[in-house]
Homo-oligomer: A and B are copies of this chain.
Amino acid sequence: MIILQSETLLAKLIQCVPNFSEGRRIDVVKKIVDAIAGAADVRVVDWSLDPDHNRSVVTFIGEPCAVRKSMLAGARAAVELIDLNKHTGGHPRIGAVDVIPVVPLSDVSIDEAIALGHEIGRDIAENLHIPVYYYEDCALRGHCVNLANIRKGGFEGLRESGLIGDRTPDVGPSELHPTAGAAVVGARGPLIAYNVNLTSNDTHIARAIASKIRKLRDSGEGMPGVKAIAVLLKSRDIAQISTNITRPDLVSIYDVYSFVEREAKALGVEVLESELIGAIRSEAVITAAAQALKCPQLTQERVI
């Protein structure tokens, strides 16, 4: 961590969080991670398999041109190793390399992140012959801002409808890649992917809590920017509230943890544990600790 933080002083840093449609064959995911780590001077912060979603998320960090090289190498490995025709899993997806969020981390403007996203998209379209859509801050068309619109119906739905009308890709061929489908690239602000697992497999309870978070958010009364869904982790037979905290400046992981803990208790279950996917900023950890310990003096200036 210390080395990373010194790098932030010297370098423009981008965080890239590609999602691949493989969460069961560890050797495949490992090869993709190796391709990313080996192609350029990037640091793989985290990678994990999710057998229930049959999906993996790799988090890596580097200067923009290194991220671009590593991302193409990772996508190339995924296209070689993943056949979407044989893929099943709980998560909607349209590609072997399904989604590639680009996040400005330090000394990089959102415009630079958007430009990098567009370069990564062109790289994948031209070199791997994959149709690419741009979403969130990279979106060139309004309906593409929301990822859910692009992924609607998944690979199979897209194959049936054809890449026409609203579903025309932003760059690349006008047909799906036969095994790797399509890819979605976007830029967005930092986000914390944070899940809370219950001591129960009762998805009604998890759904009730996730729904309460969304209602609070939509009412403007709390949980701003928190996306929450309920998931059953079949492999472990436990229910999970899976969240994305998109405004980590306003909502901390402790806010989400303590809300879920309180609601779960009211419904007669406990929090088993919580999970962090990918990386988190130091400030967000300090904030969470300060809240959990009721220690307002625990601020960044004190942490060495």
Enumerate chain B residues within 8 angstroms of A6, measured Cβ to Cβ: 5-6, 9
- Cβ contact within 8 Å between A278 and B293: no
Q: Smallest Cβ distance from A5 to chain B, in angstroms? A: 5
Q: In the complex where A5-B2, A296-B273 touch, is A282 in contact with B280 (Cβ < 8 A)?
A: no
- Cβ contact within 8 Å between A280 and B293: no
The distance in angstroms between the C-alpha atoms of A280 and B285, with both chains bound, is: 13
The distance in angstroms between the C-alpha atoms of A28 and B257, with both chains bound, is: 44
Enumerate chain B residues within 8 angstroms of A304, measured Cβ to Cβ: 1, 4-5, 8, 15, 45, 61, 105, 279-282
The distance in angstroms between the C-alpha atoms of A297 and B45, with both chains bound, is: 12
- Cβ contact within 8 Å between A302 and B286: no
**A283 closest partner in B (C-beta):** B1
- Cβ contact within 8 Å between A294 and B274: yes
Enumerate chain B residues within 8 angstroms of A278, measured Cβ to Cβ: 302
- Cβ contact within 8 Å between A303 and B288: no
**Contact pattern, A 1-17, Cβ under 8 Å of B = 1, otherwise 0:** 11111101100000100
The distance in angstroms between the C-alpha atoms of A285 and B45, with both chains bound, is: 19
**A297 closest partner in B (C-beta):** B276
The 10 closest A-B pairs by CB, nearest first: A292-B292, A6-B6, A289-B289, A274-B295, A273-B294, A5-B5, A1-B300, A257-B293, A288-B289, A279-B304
Apart from A5-B304, A8-B304: 9 A-B pairs, beta carbons within 8 A: A1-B301, A1-B303, A3-B9, A15-B304, A45-B302, A257-B294, A276-B297, A281-B304, A289-B289
